[in-house]
Structure 1
Amino acid sequence: MFMAQFTAKAVPTATASVGQLYPRRIVCLAAEAPEILDRLGAFDRVVGVSGFTRRPPGVRMKPKVGGFVTPDFQKIVALHPDLIIGTSDLQADALAALIRRGFPVLALNPHRLEDIWRNILFVGGAVGLQAEAERLTASLQEELRIIRDAVRLQRRPRVFFEEWPDPLISGIGWVGELIEFLGGEEIFPELRERALAPERVVTVEEVAARRPDVIIASWCGKQADLAAICRRPAWQELPAVRQGHIYEVRSECILQAGPGLIEGARQIRQILERVAGS
């Protein structure tokens, strides 16, 4: 009887096709993961997402498993995932706890543009869609080149990218790279190598001293208050404030390290062209 039970359970696994062995029930804690899977043609495998996730549009119909840094373990366990995709920065403790519970975890950790391309390949490989991931990566890179080649600037505007207002945090590495790639000049290039947000804290006085021509705000997870930015006393004489060059790029278009970055690049290009023509 023992042998009969063993055989009945073992045979389907032993004879499963390679395609059947790839993850079919994926929980995405990393906000960019659902859109990557969507572009790879695997969105139907997503069974749960972080409540912070905004892209792609269909993600709103997926079950929510808690906040970005406060996942609900009971909800995750109830979904029986065979893969969890997260980010090893703010979610490190939560992912470690899920690993201890026995779940397979893919921890992404993007800081630069090359990390974003690499993560798409990681995700594609994990779900058995490596060729699709390579095509997607090449396509996104080509879209960026097309956007850059269309840029028409008379000068290089100086840019302050504000990722958070209090404490004041400058943009993560890939944002600075995009700004430079599209013809702008990031005013804190030395912070680009600093991966963690607390390492990119700056003061209003430091921003004022570098006199940006434009301020682009993208407050992670909430709408930026552009009027409040303009009211900062130390910034009243900044070229950006005096000329009204304060703009928002929504965080899901620039701070989520996935395909949505292309939309963010288009918006930054439009902003730079407005400023450079002043």
Structure 2
Amino acid sequence: MATPTGPQRIVCLTEETTEWLYLLGEEARIVGISGYTVRPRRARQEKPRVSAFLDGKIDQIVALQPDLVIGFSDMQAALADKLIRAGLNVFITNQRSVAEIFATLRLVAGLVGASDRAEAWIAACQAEHARIAAVAATWPRRPRVYFEEWDEPMISAIRWVSELLATAGGDDIFPELAVQNLGKHRVVAEALAPAQRAPDVIIGSWCGKKFRPEKVAARPGWAGVPAVQHRRLHEIKSCDILQPGPAALTDGLAQMHAFCAAWAADAAR
């Protein structure tokens, strides 16, 4: 049996890296995970939870003696700085697009010597994306979709969500915001702006808290929005769409496609 190469003791500061290493069969390398991890569920029972998103238990992480800490986003810069100053090797990715997510999956797989398994998974995933896009291409009309990542202030879809929405068969009503890397640049400045763009479907994923469609429908000036009139307000759990990894590419996309397909079927009647 070949000796494992690459890092042997990995702390995952965000959930998408944990899910990916489990999918690759490399979960034995993981010695610590994010407290927000829910995919796969067994990770919560098998691995110590040592971080939130913006901060972590530095002493506990150091005590785990990781040879690599992997995180995501410029928002983890302060946490990464603390860990680096504690003498640890830290690797932070900053993927925002679907293409960048696939590239990051390949990069992490390469670190643990699992590139062949990664390529097989990615090929199957991309084939499913092509299948879904082909189905959506047969619809006479596509729904206009407002994806809300946060409610106060209102924040619209990040780039990978907007791109996956397009694959799913929907058109993001704020494409100009989706290309912005930072959440503060995706804030919808005017309270009536989403209503004025008349989305057919509203999808909420309030970054860790429960989406409240009744609160959205009750916003002043939103009563005439097609999505509100036809009660097409849906939730996707943030763990399924707001982490830039396997979950968004599979379950998140599938859920958005189901919502768009239901609208398209009604529109065709």
Q: 2:14 matched to 1:30?
A: yes
Identity %: 42
Q: 2:168 matched to 1:168?
A: no
Is the contact between residue 164 and residue 219 of structure 1 (CA under 8 Å) also seen in structure 2?
yes
Is the contact between residue 111 and residue 195 of structure 1 (CA under 8 Å) also seen in structure 2?
yes
Amino acid aligned to 1:163: E
Residue number in structure 2 paired with 1:158: 144
Residue number in structure 1 paired with 2:31: 47
Residue number in structure 1 paired with 2:219: 232
Amino acid aligned to 1:193: V
Is the contact between residue 5 and residue 112 of structure 2 (CA under 8 Å) also seen in structure 1?
no
Q: CA RMSD in A?
A: 1.6
Of residues 167, 187, 190, the one that matches 1:181 is 167
Q: 2:98 matched to 1:110?
A: no
**Matches for 1:15-94 after TM superposition, within 5 Å:** 19-61=3-45, 62-94=47-79
Residue number in structure 2 paired with 1:244: 231
Residue number in structure 2 paired with 1:267: 255
Residue number in structure 2 paired with 1:95: 80
3-state SS, counterpart of residue 36 of structure 2: coil
Q: Quote the offset at 1:21 in angstroms.
A: 4.5
Is the contact between residue 88 and residue 95 of structure 1 (CA under 8 Å) also seen in structure 2?
no
> 2-side partners of 1:136 and 1:158: how far apart?
31
Q: 2:187 matched to 1:201?
A: yes
> 2-side partners of 1:88 and 1:270: how far apart?
29
1:186-227 residue CA offsets vs partner (Å, 9 max, x unmatched)? 101111210111110003211111111110001111221111
Larger radius of gyration: 1
Aligned residues: 262
> 1-side partners of 2:37 and 2:117: how far apart?
23
> 2-side partners of 1:107 and 1:89: how far apart?
8
Q: Quote the offset at 1:172 in angstroms.
A: 0.3
Q: 2:129 matched to 1:141?
A: no
> 1-side partners of 2:14 and 2:128: how far apart?
23
Q: Quote the offset at 1:19 in angstroms.
A: 4.0
Amino acid aligned to 1:165: D
Q: Quote the offset at 1:154 in angstroms.
A: 3.3
Structure 2: gaps (5+ residues): none
Q: Quote the offset at 1:228 in angstroms.
A: 1.1
Is the contact between residue 168 and residue 254 of structure 2 (CA under 8 Å) also seen in structure 1?
no
**TM-score, normalised with respect to structure 1:** 0.90
Is the contact between residue 19 and residue 128 of structure 1 (CA under 8 Å) also seen in structure 2?
no
Structure 1: gaps (5+ residues): 1-16
